[in-house]
Amino acid sequence: MTSASGTEATYANVSGQQVDQRGNITVISTDSNSWLGSASKGPRSKAELVAFAPNGSVLYYNSSHTRYWDVDPIEKSNSASRSGSGETVEYLYSDHMNASQCPDFLSKDYWQSNEYANSVPYAQWQEYTRSHSGDGACTRNGIVQTNLKTGETKNIYSEITPGKHSTRWHDGDRINATHYAVADIFLDRTYIVNTETSNITWQWNAQSDYDPATTGREYPIDWTHINDVEVLPDGRIMADLRNHNSIVFLDPTKPSDQALDEDWTIGQTDNHSILYEQHNPDYIPRSNGGPAVTIGDSENNRVIEYQRSNGTWTRTWEWKDAHIQWPRDADRLPNGNTLITDSNGDRVLEINRWGRSFGLSTLPSPTKLNDFQAMKVLVGQARVRLESIRMRTVRSNRYGSGSRMRSLVRCSLPHSIFSHSGWAFSNLGWRSSD
């Protein structure tokens, strides 16, 4: 196979030595299907975080965690902007732990002494904890800051949750140098934490506005499946309640029972025609033509845009074809086109407003892509093939007419890929309950 330039592309294992020259730093975080990172020998036997230098050599490698999730560049100034220009990243990880390593979650002493646990009532903590007691494991979820050139690492924040399947954090969003917004699947909430003190400064609990008896899936095992959180330019928080077929907007200056702006909610729990177990909503601010949200409407097998006008959300754009199967993301590009990951259709597509396709790229089960402002490179997310993944990075020329394949990399199950201003980030996932 060849790259966009027509030259033979170089393949490398995700932990290998060399890929073709890219002109940018590429960071790949990978998933794993092993219980504690050593239970299998297949392509997903261990998770890896790898950075490739612009010349294609390995800049950084780490395989110490069970799972790697989102990776974000950090400004040298430590501002909250995602448009980092240095070599420092913050990533989310999950580490599975044996039962013997887990604390006594149900004890009153543990609840009283742990900031994460006692941020909810003791009865609620017990109820949620007992629902995951059969896993025989617990999970440490954490945020780490790493300089990819020096290897200098700083642990930013971590918490231990009972169980492993529906307790792993899927997403977090950096607010500033000391505060993070977290999508807490385990406790069906979104919260803001001071990462220096572990003090939870604000939270919205879904039970403040939704009835567990009549909404979502089985409570409390996987009731809301809050899988995405985004801090908006105006300070509000947008959160994705996958199992409620809803995207909510929250005001973190208000208490939990007043934070939800119901007029802004997209979707209804029992109305699959609006949204159906969607993924990765991306907010478009007014300055870029919004307010609008692009969404991978997964179970409806389509990608969709809702625009807000005169106090209501209106479906202004939708795309699907005969082959689309369980899309998980749709990002609006600077040129107005939309980049789509068609997870079970094994494709990444860029299409214009009229549905014309540009730069079709075949991928094994792409799942997620993230767009940053003024981005130069956009990539999709793919799942594992039997022994390896061939990942095609789709380069979008902001001032050009289409997309070109930038390089080809063979790797072991990355989970999401995104890029901005010389950065490319990857983390490819596996469809299960995510």
413: tokens are 């199950």
Q: What is the mean pLDDT of residues 364-374?
A: 33
Report whether 408 contacts 391 (CB < 8 A). yes
**pLDDT(434) > 70:** no
pLDDT digits (tens, 9 = 90+) for 149-188: 899 999 999 999 999 989 999 888 899 999 999 999 999 9
Farthest-apart Cα atoms in the chain, separation: 64
CA dist 174 and 145 (Å) reads 12
Report the pLDDT averaged over residues 53-69.
Answer: 84
Distances (CA, A) of 434 to 16, 185, 205, 307, 431: 28, 10, 20, 26, 6
Residues 6 or more apart whose CB falls under 8 angstroms from that of 139 comprise 66, 94, 95, 96, 97, 160, 161, 162, 163, 164, 167, 168
pLDDT class of 266 with cuts at 50, 70, 90: very high
Q: How far is CA 352 from CA 130, 152, 356, 404, in A?
A: 49, 42, 6, 15
Q: Which residues on neighbouring strands pair with residue 163, listed in sequence order?
A: none
Residue 267: exposure state from Cβ atoms within 10 A (0-12, 13-18, ≥19): buried
Question: Could you tell me the pLDDT band of residue 82, with boundaries at 50, 70 and 90?
Answer: very low
- For residue 68, the model assigns a pLDDT of 81
Q: How far apart are CA 407 and CA 398, in angstroms?
A: 18
What confidence category does residue 86 fall into, taking pLDDT thresholds of 50, 70 and 90? low
User: Kind of pairing, strands 369-371 and 417-420?
Assistant: parallel
CA-to-CA dists, residue 70 to 45, 304, 332, 427, angstroms:
19, 23, 19, 7
Alpha helices, DSSP H only, in 132-268? 256-259
- Tell me the average pLDDT of the chain: 75
List, as one string, the DSSP characters of 40-54. --STTSS--EEEE-T
The predicted pLDDT at position 336 comes to: 87
Residue with the two structure tokens 């409620």: 244
pLDDT in the model for residue 57: 83
